[in-house]
């Protein structure tokens, strides 16, 4: 399951992500926002974090204008490893080495690039090994 949320600045990009997920028959749940009216991005990061807390094997996608605000907000939750990815290479290593469970995107990322980032994130497995020790330490920081 993929949980998806955005703020008002990421709303249009989120609609494009929804179309992409539907095209590839990927199961998802949209947590909002459903408008371009101004909202506070931490509220939507929190909604997504609550879903991940209940669904340990799920992943999330968050979108705001730059991705920075959502990235900061989602990483306040100790069980979340959110990665702001601007390339497929970022997405690959965020999953492979860091076991990221939330992909954060900036709304200004081009559609073709965004699709490649999402595909890479969803299709890359955590490598484990030496990275497992490091990822475990992340949970100990909070």
Query: Could you tell me which residues come within 8 angstroms of residue 29 by beta carbon, excluding any fewer than 6 positions away?
Result: 1, 2, 3, 4, 51
The pLDDT value recorded for residue 128 is 86
Listed residue (127, 56, 117, 118) closest to 89, CA to CA: 117
Query: What would you report as the CA-atom Rg of the chain, rounded to the nearest whole angstrom?
Result: 14
User: In total, how many domains does the chain have?
Assistant: 1
The pLDDT value recorded for residue 142 is 63
C-beta pairs of 37-43 under 8 Å, 24+ apart in sequence:
37/8, 38/8, 39/7, 39/8, 40/7, 41/7, 41/69, 41/70, 41/73, 42/69, 42/73
CATH number at residue 64: 3.40.1400.10
DSSP 25-36: T--EEE----SS
Instruction: Give the model confidence (pLDDT) of 84-98 as tens digits.
Output: 999 999 999 999 999
Instruction: Give the model confidence (pLDDT) of 105-136 as tens digits.
Output: 999 999 899 999 999 999 999 988 889 888 88
In whole angstroms, give the CA distance from residue 83 to residue 64.
Answer: 13
- Backbone dihedral angles phi then psi of residue 83, each to the nearest 5 degrees: -125, 120
Instruction: Give the model confidence (pLDDT) of 51-67 as tens digits.
Output: 999 999 999 999 999 99
The pLDDT value recorded for residue 20 is 96
The pLDDT value recorded for residue 122 is 98
The pLDDT value recorded for residue 52 is 98
Domain that holds residue 115: 2-140
The pLDDT value recorded for residue 137 is 83
User: What positions carry a catalytic annotation?
Assistant: 97
């Amino acid at each position: 399951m993929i949980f998806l949320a955005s703020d008002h600045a990421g709303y249009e990009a989120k609609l494009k992500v929804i179309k992409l997920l539907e095209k590839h028959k990927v199961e998802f749940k949209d947590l909002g926002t459903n408008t371009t009216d101004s909202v506070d991005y931490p509220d939507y990061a929190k909604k997504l974090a609550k879903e991940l807390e209940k669904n340990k094997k799920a992943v999330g996608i968050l979108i705001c204008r730059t991705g920075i605000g959502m990235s900061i907000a989602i990483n306040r939750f100790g069980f979340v490893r959110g990665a702001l990815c601007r390339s497929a290479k970022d997405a690959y290593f965020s999953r492979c080495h860091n076991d990221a469970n939330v992909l954060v995107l900036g709304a200004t990322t081009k559609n073709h690039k965004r699709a490649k980032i999402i595909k890479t994130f969803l299709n890359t497995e955590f490598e484990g090994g030496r990275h497992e020790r490091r990822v475990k330490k992340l949970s100990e920081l909070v």
